Amino acid sequence: MKAFVHVALKKTVLDPQGQTICRSLASMGYTGVKEVRQGKFFEIELENGADPERARREIERIAREVLTNPVIEDFTYRLEE
């Protein structure tokens, strides 16, 4: 079983890295881009035979307590067989 966790800056938090990419794209001639925001994702391979409900709880705890800084970041996750 695999889990995919996405961690991104909250919408209310400035993303200077994304802004820099956006400006660079404009200066390179990519004129159709309005905004860029950057985030991280984690592809987590779980032990085989994990109980789906237990796996979901574990991934949610890992995402909340280890991978995300709750002051400035939000996370989403999904599980895949």
Residues that bind a copy of itself (CB under 8 A): 6, 8, 18, 21, 24-25, 28, 30-47, 50, 54-55, 58, 61-62, 66-67
CB of 64 to a copy of itself, least distance (A): 12
Minimum Å distance from CB 71 to a copy of itself?
20
Among residues 3, 5, 14, which one has the least CA distance to residue 67? 5
40 in Cβ contact with 17 (< 8 Å): no
- Closest to a copy of itself by CB, 43 vs 81, is 43
Residue among 49, 54, 21, 55 at smallest CA distance from 35 = 21
